[in-house]
Structures are given as C-alpha cells and as structure tokens.
Amino acid sequence: MSPFLASAQPFGQRAPVVRMRKRAGAQPLAELGGSWTVLGLGDRRQMARLKAQVIAARERGASWDLRGVDRLDEVAARWLLHHWLDKMPEQAELTASQREVFRSAARKPGAGTRTEPKTRAFSPAELPGLRQVAALGDATLRFFEHVIEGVGLIGQLALDLLRLLANPALGPWREISANVYQIGFRALGITALVGFLIGIVLSYLTSQQLARFGGGPYIVNLLGISIIRELGPMLAAILVAGRSGSAITAQIGVMRVNEELDAMEVIGMPRGFRLVLPKVIALAIAMPLLVLWTDMLALAGGMLAAALQLDVSPHFFVRQLPGAVNVANIWLGLGKGAVFGMLIAITACLFGLRIAPNTRSLGEGTTNSVVTAIILVILADAIFAIVFKDVGI
C-alpha cells in the first residue's frame, strides 16, 4: 500500500494516492484515494509519481475503484483520462457524481486529443497566486460545511432533549452519570493545580503594583472580580476542552474507525440520543461545578500570595470578599461554565462524527476539535463581556 505523501496539502486535504491490490485469480485492483483536485495534484514530482503509478496499473490491465476518492474535479478527471488513453476503463467503479465529472471533462475542448499541447499535465504552481486563492476558497467552503453540520447537530440535539423530557424513564442516565464522572470528577486535580498556581501568579504580580500606591487591601477586589467573573470560567473551559473535549472526539472517532457507529445505525440505535445528548448534558452539569472549584482554589492561591507580599491576612481577605464581589458575578461565572461546557461538547461530538475511518483523520480531527473548541469559548466569553458589561460591576 502506497503511503500518503508527506508534502503539505492545503488546509488538511489528503494527498491523492494510488493503491494496488492483488486478487487471487482476478485482475489487480487499483484503488484511488485522497483529493484528486487541481490543488491535490501538487507539484511536478508528485504528478510524475502518480503518472508512473497510473500507467503501470493501466499496462497491467488493472480494474479501477475511485469510490474512495474524497474529491474529484475536472482538472484531475482530464488528467486521468489523458493517461487512460482518452477513454474510460471498462472495469471502473465510480460514484454517480464522479461519472458526471468525467462526462463533463470529456466534453471540454481538447479532451480526447492527446497530441494537443493544451492537454499537457497541469501544475497549479505554474499560475502564481492560484494555490492561495483556491486554498482560501476551499477553506471558506469547508467553514460553511462545518456551520451547516453544526446547526443540524444542534437541531437533532434539541429533538433528543424533547424526547428525553417526554419520557425521562428511557433516558440515557447511565451514560450521563459516567460522563459526569469522567469529565467532572476526574478533572478536579488538574483544575485545582492550575487554578491555585494562577491565583498565586496573579496575586503576586498585582501586589507589586498595589504596594507602590499603598492599595494593598484592594487586592481582594481585583482578585475577586477577575477570578470569579473571567479567569475561573476561562481556565476551567480551556482545561476541559484540552482534556475532555479531545477524549470525546477520539472516542467517537475510534467508534467510526471500528465501524461501531455504522453498527449502531444498522440496529436502529440513535447516535444523537446515546452519544451526543449524554455528553452535552454531562458537561452542562459538570462545568459550573468545575468553575466553582477552580474559583475557590484560585482565590486560595491569591490569598496566600497576598498574605506573603502585602501582609493581607486570610481573615481580612475572606471577610472583605463578599462585599467586594457582587453575587451576580458568581451567577454569571456559573452561567458561563454551563454555556462553555455545551459548546465544548457539541464541538467535540461534531468533529468526532466527521472523522473518516482512518488513523490520519482521527489525529487531525482531535487536534482541530480542541483548537475550535477553545476559539469558540474565547468568542463566547467576549460576547458575555459585551452583553453583561453592566452586570455585577
């Protein structure tokens, strides 16, 4: 089996590949995979390798299977026709859309005349800026694909939630309980450590500035507002996105690789109700609790540093904190935690369901899931800051 090319493909596209398979008592089979597009064909060396493989398979009388191709455009179709001696192989497995692409490519001027210069193998590198423009268009299209699939997943989640409310006795309570344990309880250690250290760092840096102006007691106000309103929810969300979000995506991705998702569909088990809904509910429950836990440890770290740097006693810190921080900030922080948790769960499940049945896609999907979840959390936090700018201040 030929490995995928190591050369960089635009925005995660798989490189085009030709895999030869021997079959006992039958013609060899040439399987095509990856993105056979104007961008996927790449530079001259890559095209030379593909040309040699296609010609070798043609000369061996191989049958062809293009159903594993991710994308096929007319440039790649004309290129294949050129090396198939301007005619479709008699034994070729194609999807309906691929057949239409080949029909369209065959009708283009110059197709079917191998001696004309215009049918020369085309390299995107010959047109300056084409690769960048095409890559930008490809990224834009894939962004809208993600948006459409995300809206569909949210719609299905809403229907599953209504189904749960209509018949709670049949709800996936075991899955919800297991996810609360995995996502919430097992994340207490890392969130406590990071929160405590961040509280120390923030208090230490702030106390140096306050000491210059004799404003030591105001460290309670600064730490209380910054940690409870902003840092606590953000820290907990980023840690959960990296720890639990990646685990959710990897779990669903492995189920895709092992064909467990297909098995669930065959036996009629709803994937959204059994996989997505429990994780979203579990994160909506666990995240506010983790936010509260992170706030407590961060304030404890800040209180320790304040006592060492500014001689602000823990008793004074605890006594002043309720007056310095309005209770609305606590509810705002907990609300942020619930929203962040649902965003992380939906993003992780979306990328998990999009994973193709191969290990390369599993790794890329997990990485993209974590990055996207963190970006969405920061974006949601900015929206919260704008909408609730006058609350609790």
Which residues make beta-bridge pairs with 18? 32
pLDDT range class, residue 122, cuts 50, 70, 90: very low
DSSP string, 190-211: HHHHHHHHHHHHHHHHHHHHHH
pLDDT range class, residue 115, cuts 50, 70, 90: very low
Average pLDDT estimate for 270-289: 92
Residue 283's closest CA among 239, 244, 242? 244
Looking at every residue in the chain, the average pLDDT score rounds to 83
The phi and psi torsions of 339 (rounded to 5 degrees) equal -65, -45
Residue 282's closest CA among 189, 379, 375, 172? 172
As a whole number of angstroms, the distance between CA 349 and CA 184 comes to 17
Residue 176's closest CA among 279, 76, 262? 279
As a whole number of angstroms, the distance between CA 69 and CA 19 comes to 12
Question: Which 3 state secondary structure label does DSSP give 213?
Answer: coil
Helix axes 246-257, 359-387, angle to 10 degrees: 150
pLDDT exceeds cutoff 60 at 139: yes
* Per-residue pLDDT at 285: 94
Amino acid at 301: G
Query: Cα(first)–Cα(last) distance of the chain, in Å?
Result: 63
Average pLDDT estimate for 161-166: 91
Q: What digits encode the pLDDT tens for the residues 303-345?
A: 998 888 888 888 888 888 888 888 888 999 999 999 999 999 9
Which residues make beta-bridge pairs with 20? 30
| Measured CA distances, 5 to 14, 32, 45, 172, 173 (Å) | 8, 13, 11, 43, 45
DSSP string, 17-84: EEEEE--TTS--EEEEEEEESTTTT-SHHHHHHHHHHHHHHHHTT-EEE-TTEEEE-HHHHHHHHHHT
Chain-centroid distance of CA 1 in Å reads: 28
User: Between these two residues, 142 and 183, which has the higher pLDDT value?
Assistant: 183
pTM for this one?
Answer: 0.65
- β-bridge pairing 29-36 and 63-65: parallel
Q: What digits encode the pLDDT tens for the residues 236-267?
A: 999 999 999 999 999 998 888 888 888 887 78
- With beta carbons less than 8 A apart as the criterion, state whether 93 and 66 touch: yes
Q: What digits encode the pLDDT tens for the residues 16-70?
A: 888 888 877 778 888 998 888 877 776 677 788 888 888 888 888 888 989 889 8
As a whole number of angstroms, the distance between CA 257 and CA 80 comes to 30
Chain-centroid distance of CA 309 in Å reads: 42
Residue whose pair of structure tokens reads 């106000």 in the numeric block: 221
As a whole number of angstroms, the distance between CA 88 and CA 195 comes to 63
| Measured CA distances, 148 to 47, 154, 331, 357 (Å) | 34, 10, 32, 22
| Measured CA distances, 282 to 158, 174, 185, 286 (Å) | 15, 11, 11, 6
DSSP 217: G
The phi and psi torsions of 68 (rounded to 5 degrees) equal -85, 5
Q: Select, from the ranges 33-37, 111-115, 185-189, the one with the highest average predicted confidence (pLDDT).
A: 185-189
User: What is the rounded radius of gyration, in angstroms, for the C-alpha atoms of the chain?
Assistant: 28
pLDDT range class, residue 354, cuts 50, 70, 90: confident
pLDDT range class, residue 10, cuts 50, 70, 90: very low
DSSP 2: P
pLDDT range class, residue 146, cuts 50, 70, 90: confident
Question: Which 3 state secondary structure label does DSSP give 92?
Answer: strand
Give the DSSP H or E segment for 120: none
pLDDT range class, residue 1, cuts 50, 70, 90: very low
CB within 8 Å of 155: residues ≥ 6 apart: none
